[in-house]
Chain A
Amino acid sequence: MKCAVIMFPGSNCDIDCYHVLSEVLGQPAEYVFHKEKFGPGDFDLIVLPGGFSYGDYLRAGAIARFSPAMDSVLKAAEAGKLIIGICNGFQILLEAKLLPGAMKRNRDLKFHCHDVYLRVDNDETPFTRLYKKGEIIRLPIAHGEGNYYADVQTIEKLKAENRVVFTYCDRDGNVSDAANPNGSVENIAGIINEQGNILGMMPHPERSSEEILGNTDGKRLFESILRHIEGRTTYGR
Chain B
Amino acid sequence: MAGREDAKKLGLADYEYDEIVKTLGREPNHLELGMYSVMWSEHCSYKNSKPVLKRFPTSGPRVLQGPGENAGIVDIGDNLAVVMKIESHNHPSAVEPYQGAATGVGGIIRDIFTMGARPVALLDSLRFGNPDEPRVKYLFGGVVSGIADYGNCMGIPTVGGEVYFDDSYRDNPLVNAMCVGIIRCDRIVRGKAAGVGNSVMLVGSATGRDGMHGASFASEELSEDSVAKRPSVQVGDPFTEKLLLEACLELLQNDWVVGVQDLGAAGLTSASCETAARAESGIELDVSLVPRREENMNPYEVMISESQERMLVIVEKGHEEDVRKIFEKWDLNAVKIGTVTADGMLRILENGTVVAEVPAKSLADGAPSIKRESRKPFYMEDIDIDLSSIEIPEDLNNVLLKLLSSPNIASKAWVYQQYDYTVRTDTVVPPGSDAAVLRIKGTKKGIALTTDCNGYYCFLDPYEGGKQAVAEAARNLVVSGAKPLAITDCLNFGNPEKPEVYYQFEKCVDGMAEAASFLGTPVISGNVSFYNETKDNAIYPTPVVGMVGLLEDVEKRCTMEFKKEGDVVVLLGDNTDELGGSVYLKEIIGLRGGRPPRLNLDVEKKVQDCCLKAIELGLIRSAHDVTEGGLSVALAESCIAGNIGFSGEIETEIRPDALLFGEGQSRIIMSLPEENLSLFQQLAKELDVNITVLGFVKSGNFKLEVKMKGQNVGKVDIPVDKLALSWGNAIKWKVEN
Please give the residue numbers on chain A whose beta carbons come within 8 Å of chain B beta carbons, in ascending order. 9-10, 12-13, 15-16, 19-20, 23, 33, 35, 50-52, 54-57, 110-114, 140, 142, 144, 204, 206-207, 210, 212-214
How many chain B residues touch A (Cβ–Cβ < 8 Å)?
A: 33
Q: 8 A–B contact pairs at CB < 8 A?
A: A9-B242, A10-B243, A19-B441, A57-B239, A113-B418, A142-B420, A210-B425, A213-B425
Contact flag A51-B155 (CB < 8 Å), given A10-B239, A16-B425? yes
Q: Are A111 and B152 in contact (CB under 8 A)?
A: yes
Contact flag A12-B330 (CB < 8 Å), given A52-B152, A55-B153? no
Interface centre among B242, B330, B420 (most CB of A within 10 A): B420
Q: How far is the CB of B325 from chain A (nearest CB, A)?
A: 13
Q: How far is the CB of B137 from chain A (nearest CB, A)?
A: 14
Q: Are B153 and A207 in contact (CB under 8 A)?
A: no
Contact flag A9-B243 (CB < 8 Å), given A52-B152, A113-B417? yes
Q: Are A113 and B419 in contact (CB under 8 A)?
A: yes
**Measured CA separation A204–B155 after assembly (Å):** 14
Q: Are B422 and A12 in contact (CB under 8 A)?
A: no
**Measured CA separation A204–B428 after assembly (Å):** 16
- Tell me, yes or no, whether B579 is within 8 Å of chain A by CB: no
What mask results when residues 225 to 252 of chain B are scored 1 for a CB within 8 Å of chain A, else 0?
0000000000001111011000000000
Residues of B within 8 A of A9 (CB): 239, 242-243, 330-331
Residues of A within 8 A of B149 (CB): 111, 144
Q: Are B154 and A12 in contact (CB under 8 A)?
A: yes
Q: How far is the CB of A61 from chain B (nearest CB, A)?
A: 14
Q: Are B331 and A142 in contact (CB under 8 A)?
A: no
Q: Are A110 and B153 in contact (CB under 8 A)?
A: no
Residues of B within 8 A of A204 (CB): 422
Q: Are B422 and A55 in contact (CB under 8 A)?
A: no
Q: How far is the CB of A100 from chain B (nearest CB, A)?
A: 27
**Measured CA separation A110–B329 after assembly (Å):** 33
Q: Are B239 and A55 in contact (CB under 8 A)?
A: yes
Our pick among B239, B416, B418 for the contact of A52 (Cβ within 8 Å) is B239
Residues of A within 8 A of B238 (CB): 52, 55
Q: Are A52 and B423 in contact (CB under 8 A)?
A: no
- Tell me, yes or no, whether B554 is within 8 Å of chain A by CB: yes
- Tell me, yes or no, whether B439 is within 8 Å of chain A by CB: yes
Q: How far is the CB of A223 from chain B (nearest CB, A)?
A: 17
**Measured CA separation A207–B427 after assembly (Å):** 10
- Tell me, yes or no, whether B148 is within 8 Å of chain A by CB: yes
Residues of B within 8 A of A23 (CB): 441
Q: Are B417 and A10 in contact (CB under 8 A)?
A: no
Contact flag A142-B423 (CB < 8 Å), given A10-B153, A19-B441? yes
Q: Are B148 and A111 in contact (CB under 8 A)?
A: yes
Contact flag A111-B420 (CB < 8 Å), given A51-B155, A57-B239, A144-B152? yes
**Measured CA separation A189–B420 after assembly (Å):** 18
- Tell me, yes or no, whether B421 is within 8 Å of chain A by CB: yes
Q: How far is the CB of B636 from chain A (nearest CB, A)?
A: 22
Q: How far is the CB of B423 from chain A (nearest CB, A)?
A: 6
Nearest A residue to B141, CB-CB: A110
Q: Are A12 and B417 in contact (CB under 8 A)?
A: no
Our pick among A35, A55, A112 for the contact of B417 (Cβ within 8 Å) is A112
Nearest A residue to B429, CB-CB: A214
**Measured CA separation A114–B384 after assembly (Å):** 45
Nearest B residue to A14, CB-CB: B155
Nearest A residue to B446, CB-CB: A212
Contact flag A207-B152 (CB < 8 Å), given A10-B239, A212-B554? no
B residues 672-692 in Cβ contact with A at 8 Å: none
**Measured CA separation A43–B441 after assembly (Å):** 26
**Measured CA separation A16–B425 after assembly (Å):** 6
- Tell me, yes or no, whether B424 is within 8 Å of chain A by CB: yes
Q: Are B239 and A113 in contact (CB under 8 A)?
A: no
**Measured CA separation A111–B423 after assembly (Å):** 14
Q: Describe A's contact surface by its main secondary structure.
A: mixed
Q: How far is the CB of B448 from chain A (nearest CB, A)?
A: 15
Q: Are A16 and B424 in contact (CB under 8 A)?
A: yes
Nearest A residue to B736, CB-CB: A108
Q: Are B425 and A19 in contact (CB under 8 A)?
A: yes
Given contacts A23-B441, A35-B329, 20 further A-B contacts (CB under 8 A): A9-B239, A9-B242, A9-B243, A9-B331, A12-B154, A13-B155, A16-B423, A16-B424, A19-B425, A52-B239, A55-B237, A55-B239, A56-B239, A112-B418, A113-B418, A113-B421, A114-B413, A142-B422, A144-B152, A213-B427
3 smallest A-B Cβ distances: which pairs? A12-B155, A55-B239, A52-B153
Nearest B residue to A212, CB-CB: B428
**Measured CA separation A51–B151 after assembly (Å):** 11
Q: How far is the CB of B140 from chain A (nearest CB, A)?
A: 13
Our pick among A10, A13, A20, A207 for the contact of B242 (Cβ within 8 Å) is A10
Residues of A within 8 A of B155 (CB): 12-13, 51-52
Residues of B within 8 A of A19 (CB): 425, 441
Q: Are B439 and A212 in contact (CB under 8 A)?
A: yes
Q: Are B420 and A52 in contact (CB under 8 A)?
A: no
Residues of A within 8 A of B148 (CB): 111
**Measured CA separation A142–B430 after assembly (Å):** 14
Residues of B within 8 A of A213 (CB): 425, 427-428
Q: How far is the CB of B679 from chain A (nearest CB, A)?
A: 27
What mask results when residues 132 to 153 of chain B are scored 1 for a CB within 8 Å of chain A, else 0?
0000000000000100110011
Q: Are B428 and A111 in contact (CB under 8 A)?
A: no
Interface centre among A33, A113, A140 (most CB of B within 10 A): A113
**Measured CA separation A207–B422 after assembly (Å):** 7
Q: How far is the CB of A179 from chain B (nearest CB, A)?
A: 16
Contact flag A12-B242 (CB < 8 Å), given A210-B425, A213-B425? yes
**Measured CA separation A11–B321 after assembly (Å):** 27
Residues of B within 8 A of A114 (CB): 413, 417
Residues of B within 8 A of A35 (CB): 329
Q: How far is the CB of A13 from chain B (nearest CB, A)?
A: 6
Nearest A residue to B428, CB-CB: A212
Nearest B residue to A9, CB-CB: B243
Nearest A residue to B118, CB-CB: A15
Residues of B within 8 A of A210 (CB): 425
What mask results when residues 308 to 352 of chain B are scored 1 for a CB within 8 Å of chain A, else 0?
000000000000000000000111000000000000000000000
Q: Are A52 and B242 in contact (CB under 8 A)?
A: yes
What mask results when residues 391 to 422 of chain B are scored 1 for a CB within 8 Å of chain A, else 0?
00000000000000000000001001111111
Residues of A within 8 A of B329 (CB): 33, 35
Residues of A within 8 A of B237 (CB): 55
Residues of A within 8 A of B418 (CB): 110-113
Residues of B within 8 A of A212 (CB): 428, 439, 554-555
Residues of A within 8 A of B421 (CB): 113
Residues of B within 8 A of A214 (CB): 428
Residues of B within 8 A of A54 (CB): 239
Residues of A within 8 A of B413 (CB): 114
Residues of A within 8 A of B330 (CB): 9
Q: How far is the CB of B159 from chain A (nearest CB, A)?
A: 11
Residues of B within 8 A of A20 (CB): 425
**Measured CA separation A210–B555 after assembly (Å):** 13
Nearest B residue to A51, CB-CB: B155
Residues of B within 8 A of A56 (CB): 153, 239
